[in-house]
Amino acid sequence: MAWAMLIIAGFAEIGGVISLKLTEGFTKWKPTVACLIFASISFYLLSTAVQTLPVGTAYAVWTGIGSAGSVLVGMLFFKESRDRKRILFITGIVISIVGLKFIA
pLDDT tens per residue across span 19-77: 999 999 999 999 999 999 999 999 999 999 999 999 999 999 999 999 999 999 999 99
Q: What are phi and psi of 40, to 5 degrees?
A: -65, -45
CA distance 55 to 15: 22
* pTM summary value: 0.90
H helix and E strand count, the chain: 4, 0
User: Going by C-beta distance under 8 Å and a sequence separation of 6 or more, which residues neighbour residue 14?
Assistant: 65, 66, 69, 70, 73
pLDDT tens per residue across span 62-83: 999 999 999 999 999 999 999 9
CA distance 66 to 8: 10
